[in-house]
Structure 1
Amino acid sequence: MDRPFKLSVRDDGIYLTVEPEGELVLSDVVALLKEKQIEDYDGQLVARAVQERTGESVKIAERKTDLDRPAKMEIRISEDGLSCSMKLTPPLGKLPLPSPEDIERFLRDHGVVEGFKADVIRALASGSHLNQWVEVARGREVVHGKDAAIVYKVDLQRLKPKETQEGKRVDMKDLGTVINVLKGQELAEKTPPVPGQDGMTVMGKPIKAQAPKDKNLPAGSGTEMSEDRMHLYAAQDGHLSIKDGKLCVLPLFEVKGDVDYGVGNIQFVGPVMVRGSVREGFSVKAGGDLFVDGVVEGAHLSCEGNMVIKVGVRGTGKALLEAKGDVSCAYIDQAHVRAGGDVRVSEAIMHSQVSARGSVIVQGSKKGQIVGGRVQAGIEVVCETLGSEMGTKTEVVVGVPPELMEERRRIVESLKDLKAKMGDVNTNLGYLKKLEERDLLDDQKRALMVRLTRAKFQLQGQISVLEKRMAAIEAEVESSKASGRVRVKGTCHNGVVVSIRGMNYIVRSDQKFVSFAVEEGEIRIKPFDY
């Protein structure tokens, strides 16, 4: 910080000027006088100047030319060698300040050769920053290279268990076990390495930049790289896995043991293989086939393909199995099963609700029994034993697939609603067209007419789509009327209710090796191989 006083040397003597503002004690002035080797000064004048602080120059000593000294230059260099600072003490007497060339020469003589700050050096030479340390040279900072980096576009961390609505417990069933990816989805991106730049100290010593390290994309099986090898994509639908540090996309998701709290619910875009059982309360959803080696308890299973359960379903009234294709298992006990194809069971269907668009076949063992509950099939039901000696209520329905009739009902309701809306639109359009013919349409009514015309086209499109679907359903219903039968190779017990194409038949006494089929408008009993 600048002192609030200064000494000046004139031809007739040495003068002291004390500014009115700023902190000052007499000892500060005396110290400067001694530093400048000025001894024959008038102490009384010095004390008065400090006390009065008028800002005027006061002669305090005679000038002695032998005390004139040149300016003093001092430098210091930082430990890392990147900065050089200078302190310039002005000359005493009539000697001039050093020129910029003098200052630079002084720096070079002391080993400073790099990064001169010309503007600061010129300022020093002009009298600025005197008696202060200022940076006069700055070396070149080293810029270390940046390593190549891999940016993952998918979350490789297993998703955290989700909190329940109460926010106090975590849902251990939803562990995010499966990371689904689709063909063409970007998995990772490589950021190339950035080379570094060497630095230089003010003394001219080079500082070597750290060389960057390159990395390769973690391409494993089921993945592919872009031509520039900077992007990694999934080559197929599947689930993401890491093997030996590489990303792999596997088309089959395999659970080595049971689906339970250690695994959580599973939802996968492709086929799923469960080597153990599926425990109660858990769900497995597969975008392809679904295989279970063990037992399915009160769980929810669904798949877009076929479902194969090696042991069986012990549903306790809670299990729900849905497959777009066939369902195959050893037994079904107290479960709801829906199949877009056939249901094939080797041992028994017990007290369950089973629906198949194709056939329900319970054969492959001596038992082959359907007992209790309701079994529905679009084509036929085949089993070894139907019902039980105890007369357990058992219902078998064949003919039109029930889900088809439900879809037909929904379409009928939708068409009724859409056609009612179409009627309203046509009525309003007719009224507006009459106004148009009489040139009575204002801007508001004309805008309404445009909106109604657009709505009419939209309704026509929706109605057309539903009518085409309805025609397809009607054709399928008509073709299914020619099929539909129930075949029992062993015994059909008393009390069984057989429904074919909407007609019911109650079995009044045990029958063996029989078929139930529609003939001449009624259900009749025929031989098994009919």
Structure 2
Amino acid sequence: MKVQVKVSQDAMEAHMIVSAEPNEEISKEDLLSQLKSHGVVYGIMEDAIENIVKSKIFDKPVLVAVGKKPVDGKDGQIVIIKPEQTEDGQSIADKGKIDLRELPARMRTIVKAGQTVAEIIPPTEGEEGRNVLGRVLKPKVGKPPQLKLGRNVRLIEDGKKVVAAVDGILIAATDGTIDVNEVLNVQGDVDYSTGNIDFPGEVRIKGDVKPGFTVKAKGDVVVGGVVEAATVVSFEGSVSALGIKGREKGIVKAKEEVRAKFVENAVVEAGKAVIVDGPITNSQIKAGEKVIAKGSKGVIVGGTISAGFYVEAEEIGSELGVSTHVEVGVEPEERERMKVLKAQLELDRENLSKLVAVYKTLKEIMDRNQGKLPPDKIELFRKVGQSMINLRNNIELAERELEEIQRRMREKYMFAKVIARRVLHPGVEICIFDKRYYNDKSLQKVLLVLEDEQVRVGGYSGDSEV
């Protein structure tokens, strides 16, 4: 018997060629001994050896050993964690009708402070290999991920996770940089390409906010163009825009201020001030402190203007006598509460009057029947009496609240005023606190204040507050 063992150049395979007489006896142990004598000690295929012996495979190369290739380590990864809910607050899995204005918002990843935005998966070392000669083959170790911490993010859990330090929009760049931006920048218009916006920071829009769209932000909203028949809300900051065209749709609202170059057919509300560098036309304006139309074109024509302390414009009303209503001396919310209380008092007093009439009728029946009522009237009598007690209590509480609001407002807004820097036109109704004045003629440079429980009209020669 003659045995040849051939090891491949990379020592990852070994072949055996056995030469023997047809009737010559060979054994598995002999062949294994031959492999060992040639240095082949790993990956031996004993089934192949047995097959040579059993089937008498002679003078042919047979693969009898195979090495194990090393498994290189995997490179580390940065895995961005997508929230289960999108900017619009809907679950990604939600089904049903889809508003096309909401679709682009689902592409923006909005995160909260403390939220995990990425996980760092470390590289692996890989697995060692071995050739048929028993030599260990080292794998390539994986490379660590290229992580670059940008703004408003930090590492936790020994560098295994990245969390947001603030509320904002998650931005993951191709170079491995992770940012959370507190400002959402829109390079063009808010339309179907951007969708509605609901952002926990500041929003800056270069273009317009198109009709029917909504922009809501925790911080300031700055619109380079026009807000047109759209809704724009700043929950904790201010709103500024080139102009506001309401077309009797949508609303612009801010906790602090609303500023624009013009306001037309719009609803605007501000916790502090509405300041317009131009005309305010046919609009519903509410401000906790003041409303000012600045400049030579700063006129207020039509609509209702409500402010806590101060309303000022170059002109109020128009030569055509357009109905214009101006209210100062009560916060818009307080005024609304007073209206509700007055309406509720009127309704409660009317209902109480009706119940008193029913009660008297039942009492007359009792008097005629020696203090007794028919069985079907006893429960009614009890309910009427209880309802009268409840209504009297409600009326008393409402009267107290109304008196308290009026007292507080008198003290707080005793210096409230309305100023027409050039002209107060006929057709303008002025309300300071609860006193009204209707102007029926053109007046030049007017200052209106509350004095001795009356609206006093005087001359104006001062400077604007802004």
What TM-score does the superposition give when structure 2 sets the normalisation length? Answer: 0.69
Equivalent AA in structure 2 for residue 525 of structure 1: V
Q: Matched residue of 1:338: which SS?
A: strand
Q: Unmatched 5+ residue regions in structure 2?
A: 345-400
The answer for the alignment partner of 1:502 in structure 2 is 434
Q: 1:243 to 1:411 in 2, by over 3 A?
A: farther
**1:493 lines up with 2:411 in the alignment:** no
The answer for the alignment partner of 2:289 in structure 1 is 358
Conserved 8 A contact 1:188-1:217:
no
Q: Matched residue of 1:190: which SS?
A: strand
**1:282 lines up with 2:210 in the alignment:** no
Match of 1:232 among 162, 169, 172: 162
Work out the CA distance in 1 between the residues paired with 2:146 and 2:329.
60
Work out the CA distance in 2 between the residues paired with 1:271 and 1:518.
40
Q: 1:408 to 1:228 in 2, by over 3 A?
A: farther
Work out the CA distance in 2 between the residues paired with 1:159 and 1:252.
15
Match of 2:412 among 480, 489, 497: 480
- Alpha-carbon deviation of 1:253? 2.3
What whole-Å deviation, never above 9, does each CA across 1:345-383 have from its counterpart, x for those lacking one?
1211100111001111112x2232111111111112111
The answer for the alignment partner of 1:305 in structure 2 is 237
Q: How many residues are matched? A: 389
The answer for the alignment partner of 1:171 in structure 2 is 100
- Alpha-carbon deviation of 1:163? 12
Work out the CA distance in 2 between the residues paired with 1:367 and 1:186.
52
- Alpha-carbon deviation of 1:203? 4.3
Q: Matched residue of 1:276: which SS?
A: coil
The answer for the alignment partner of 2:308 in structure 1 is 378
Q: Matched residue of 2:296: which SS?
A: coil
What whole-Å deviation, never above 9, does each CA across 1:472-500 have from its counterpart, x for those lacking one?
x9586454343432222222111211122
What whole-Å deviation, never above 9, does each CA across 1:421-443 have from its counterpart, x for those lacking one?
xxxxxxxxxxxxxxxxxxxxxxx
Conserved 8 A contact 2:123-2:141:
no
Conserved 8 A contact 1:485-1:515:
yes
The answer for the alignment partner of 1:517 in structure 2 is 449
Q: Matched residue of 1:293: which SS?
A: strand
Conserved 8 A contact 2:213-2:231:
yes
Conserved 8 A contact 2:87-2:199:
no
Q: 1:170 to 1:507 in 2, by over 3 A?
A: closer
Work out the CA distance in 2 between the residues paired with 1:409 and 1:509.
29
Give the alignment of 1:43-442 within 5 angstroms. Answer: 98=27, 101-102=29-30, 104-109=32-37, 112-115=40-43, 139-140=67-68, 142-154=70-82, 171-172=100-101, 174-176=103-105, 178-204=108-134, 207-226=137-156, 228-242=158-172, 245=175, 246-303=177-234, 304-309=236-241, 311-363=242-294, 365-406=295-336
Q: 1:391 to 1:410 in 2, by over 3 A?
A: closer
Work out the CA distance in 1 between the residues paired with 2:95 and 2:161.
39
The answer for the alignment partner of 1:416 in structure 2 is none
Conserved 8 A contact 2:111-2:169:
yes
Q: 1:203 to 1:235 in 2, by over 3 A?
A: same
CA RMSD, 1 decimal = 4.4
- Alpha-carbon deviation of 1:226? 4.0
Equivalent AA in structure 1 for residue 188 of structure 2: G
What whole-Å deviation, never above 9, does each CA across 1:129-178 have from its counterpart, x for those lacking one?
965999986644532211111111247xx9999999875x7715541265
Work out the CA distance in 2 between the residues paired with 1:132 and 1:396.
113
Q: Matched residue of 1:347: which SS?
A: coil
Q: Matched residue of 1:108: which SS?
A: helix
- Alpha-carbon deviation of 1:115? 4.1
Give the alignment of 1:459-474 within 5 angstroms. Answer: 474=405
Q: 1:502 to 1:165 in 2, by over 3 A?
A: farther
Equivalent AA in structure 1 for residue 72 of structure 2: H
Asked which structure has the greater RCO (Cα within 8 Å, sep 6+), the reply is: 2
Conserved 8 A contact 1:217-1:232:
no
Q: Unmatched 5+ residue regions in structure 1?
A: 1-69, 414-469
- Alpha-carbon deviation of 1:529? 5.7
- Alpha-carbon deviation of 1:74? 11
- Alpha-carbon deviation of 1:325? 0.2
Q: 1:135 to 1:277 in 2, by over 3 A?
A: same
Conserved 8 A contact 1:178-1:267:
no
Conserved 8 A contact 1:319-1:334:
no
Work out the CA distance in 2 between the residues paired with 1:237 and 1:400.
36
Work out the CA distance in 2 between the residues paired with 1:244 and 1:115.
44
Q: Matched residue of 2:277: which SS?
A: strand
Conserved 8 A contact 1:515-1:528:
yes
Equivalent AA in structure 2 for residue 522 of structure 1: Q
Equivalent AA in structure 2 for residue 213 of structure 1: K
What TM-score does the superposition give when structure 1 sets the normalisation length? Answer: 0.61
Work out the CA distance in 1 between the residues paired with 2:308 and 2:448.
14
Work out the CA distance in 1 between the residues paired with 2:195 and 2:227.
15
Equivalent AA in structure 1 for residue 194 of structure 2: V
Q: Matched residue of 1:193: which SS?
A: coil
Work out the CA distance in 2 between the residues paired with 1:321 and 1:376.
15
Work out the CA distance in 1 between the residues paired with 2:409 and 2:451.
18
Equivalent AA in structure 2 for residue 272 of structure 1: V
Q: Matched residue of 1:337: which SS?
A: strand
The answer for the alignment partner of 1:63 in structure 2 is none
- Alpha-carbon deviation of 1:507? 1.5
Q: Matched residue of 2:261: which SS?
A: strand
What whole-Å deviation, never above 9, does each CA across 1:27-55 have from its counterpart, x for those lacking one?
xxxxxxxxxxxxxxxxxxxxxxxxxxxxx
Work out the CA distance in 2 between the residues paired with 1:359 and 1:229.
51
Work out the CA distance in 2 between the residues paired with 1:74 and 1:254.
75
Q: 1:164 to 1:375 in 2, by over 3 A?
A: farther
Work out the CA distance in 1 between the residues paired with 2:315 and 2:26.
120
- Alpha-carbon deviation of 1:305? 0.7
- Alpha-carbon deviation of 1:252? 2.4
Conserved 8 A contact 1:164-1:171:
no
